[in-house]
Amino acid sequence: MKVPGKLPEAIGNFFPLPNVIFHLGLSAEEIATYAYLLYCENRKTYQCWPSYTTIGNAIGKTKNSVKKYVDGLRNKGLIATEPTTKTAKDGAALNGNLLYTILPVDEAVRAYNEAQIYLANIESERQMIRQLALKKGVTFKAG
C-alpha cells in the first residue's frame, strides 16, 4: 500500500531519496543523516532505531553532532523521534536508542514553503517601512 507522501519501496540494494530534500534548506550533514535513516528504515513501519554513535560512524561525525542533525530534521518535520528503554541485567530500566519515524515529505515541504512565505512577508514589510522612513528624511546606519 502506498501512503501519500511516502517514499517508494527500495529496489534491490538501493533506496530512493526524494529530490525535494535538496530544496528544504538542509545542511549536507542533515541530508547525510536523513539518508542513513532511510537506509535503516523498515519499509513497512517507516521506523528505525540506530544510535547516535551508529549514525555518526556511518556519516563520519561525532555523536554530539549527530544529535544536532537529528534535532534539525525533527524541527523541519522530516522525522519524529521517541525515546525507548531497555532492561539491564539487574532489571533496571535504562534509556535506549531513539525510535525514528520517517514522516511524509509533503508535510516538511508545506512547512518549509510557509516559512519562506513568512520570511518574504517580513522582508516586504521592512522594505515598505524603510521607504516610508526615507520619504520622511529618516536615515539608517548600515549594518
Domain boundaries, the chain: 19-135
Q: What is the pLDDT of residue 95?
A: 87
Is the CB of residue 111 less than 8 Å from the CB of residue 26?
A: no
For residue 4, pLDDT over 60 is answered with: no
Q: Which residue would you say has higher pLDDT here, 108 or 11?
A: 108
Residue 31 identity (one-letter amino acid):
I
Q: What is the pLDDT of residue 138?
A: 81
Mean pLDDT of the chain: 87
Rounded to an integer, the average pLDDT of 65-90 is: 94
Rounded to an integer, the average pLDDT of 42-46 is: 91
Taking the alpha carbons at both ends of the chain, their separation in whole angstroms is 54
Q: What is the pLDDT of residue 115?
A: 83
Q: What is the pLDDT of residue 141?
A: 75
Ordered strands of the 93-102 beta sheet: 47-48, 93-102, 79-87
Is pTM beyond 0.85? Reply is no
For residue 10, pLDDT over 70 is answered with: no
Class in CATH terms, 19-135: mainly alpha
Q: For the chain, give the number of residues.
A: 143
